[in-house]
Amino acid sequence: MTGFSKFTRLAAACLLLTGSSAVAQDMPLTQVLLPGEGWQLVGSGYKFTEGPAVDAKGNVFFTDIPNDRIHRVDATTGKVTVFAEKTARTNGLMFGRDGLLYGCRNGDKQVVAYAPDGSHTVIASDISCNDLVIGSDLRLFVTDPGGGKVWTIDQNRKKRVVAEGIGPNGVILWPGEGTLVVTERNDAHLWTYRVEPDGSLSHRERYYLPLRLLPGRDRPGSDGMTVDTNGRLYVTTSAGVQMFDPTGRMGGVIAKPHRGSLANVAFGGPKRNLMYVTAGDRVYRRKTRVQGAVHFLKPAVPRR
């Protein structure tokens, strides 16, 4: 099969996935950003922030890895409080439909589930975990950059390797949960995989156009990702938050709130229209026109 036919097959699937004729047209940043709305500082004074995750009420949780803490941003007031301490350098986070906060407790090489009181239960061990995503069926996909692997963990806590031979960093599912996207920090291309019913991954493709690089740089610094309900993909990079439409085309780059690096992105708030980014020792947010997809709810469209 030619590269073009592979591309068009997956593009057609993505158009069906979103269920909207609008995705066949260009989706520029003007459809995402609001005039006069810029970045607002949520919190500062941390060491290195990562892993923004959103619960059912729109509260945002993020990690401060070197300080071994998870913080909570109230969806209504914006107040930041400490949710958990001594978190063993927890990195990536995401909520499941069971209301638990799943995290990559990398200092212990464990994938865990945090309860509302901040206590945790071990889901899997012996994984040098970095980032994760969880579907509506509570199946986890976890990146292991050092091992060059992507793992899956099912509801019975059975783990297995489903992808190898890459340096995986960030990971996200499409809204319909039939496609998994993986970043490599030093590669301008993103990998997409078809998610099979048993959690296996197939049809690895470089579906998206390459990420944009800063002048004089040969590495994008690509890290965490999120998606909105229209199927747009947002990738944190050294250049900013890069947005792709569902057909894989670049829609534009959202400028960084400061000169430091960006590690991850998520949509939070009561309406899930506030874009949060973790940016070194700070966390920022901005109001947008779009709504973030929620992976802990059953997909509203068929699996493709």
Q: Which strands sit side by side in the sheet containing 250-254, from one edge to the other?
A: 225-227, 233-237, 240-244, 250-254
Q: What is the pLDDT of residue 297?
A: 73
Q: Does the pLDDT at position 304 exceed 50?
A: no
Q: What is the pLDDT of residue 298?
A: 64
**Cβ contacts of residue 134 below 8 Å, gap of 6+?**
94, 95, 96, 102, 140, 141, 295, 296
The percent helix, strand, coil of the chain (3-state, each to 5) is 10, 40, 50
Q: Give residue limits of the domains in the chain.
A: 3-18+26-287
For 157-201, the pLDDT digits (tens) are: 999 999 999 999 999 999 999 999 999 999 999 999 999 999 999
For 199-240, the pLDDT digits (tens) are: 999 999 999 999 999 999 999 999 999 999 999 999 999 999
Q: Rounded distance, CA 302 to CA 112, Å?
A: 29
Instruction: Please state which CATH class domain 3-18+26-287 belongs to.
Output: mainly beta
Torsions phi, psi for 54 (to 5 deg):
-120, 130
Q: What is the pLDDT of residue 28?
A: 87
Percent of the chain with pLDDT over 90: 86
For 12-46, the pLDDT digits (tens) are: 444 334 433 333 446 789 999 999 999 999 999 99
- Give the DSSP H/E element, type plus range, for residue 9: helix 3-18
Pairing of strands 179-184, 201-205: unpaired
Q: Rounded distance, CA 28 to CA 33, Å?
A: 9
**Cβ contacts of residue 205 below 8 Å, gap of 6+?**
6, 7, 10, 191, 192, 193
Q: Is residue 112 within 8 Å of residue 105, measured between CB atoms?
A: yes
Q: Does the pLDDT at position 146 exceed 80?
A: yes
Residue with tokens 């690895």: 204
Query: pLDDT band at residue 8, thresholds of 50, 70 and 90?
Result: very low
Which range has the worst mean pLDDT, 80-89, 141-150, 295-304? Answer: 295-304
Q: Is residue 124 within 8 Å of residue 110, measured between CB atoms?
A: yes
Q: What is the pLDDT of residue 1?
A: 40
Percent of the chain with pLDDT over 70: 89
Q: Is residue 180 within 8 Å of residue 166, measured between CB atoms?
A: no
Q: For the chain, first and last CA: distance in Å? A: 20
For 63-99, the pLDDT digits (tens) are: 999 999 999 999 999 999 999 999 999 999 999 999 9
Q: Rounded distance, CA 155 to CA 158, Å?
A: 7
Mean pLDDT of the chain: 91
For 86-141, the pLDDT digits (tens) are: 999 999 999 999 999 999 999 999 999 999 999 999 999 999 999 999 999 999 99
Per-residue pLDDT, averaged over 2-15, amounts to 43
Per-residue pLDDT, averaged over 239-261, amounts to 95
Q: What is the pLDDT of residue 299?
A: 57
Q: What is the pLDDT of residue 91?
A: 98
Q: What is the pLDDT of residue 26?
A: 62
What are the beta bridge partners of residue 218?
none
Q: Is residue 27 within 8 Å of residue 241, measured between CB atoms?
A: no
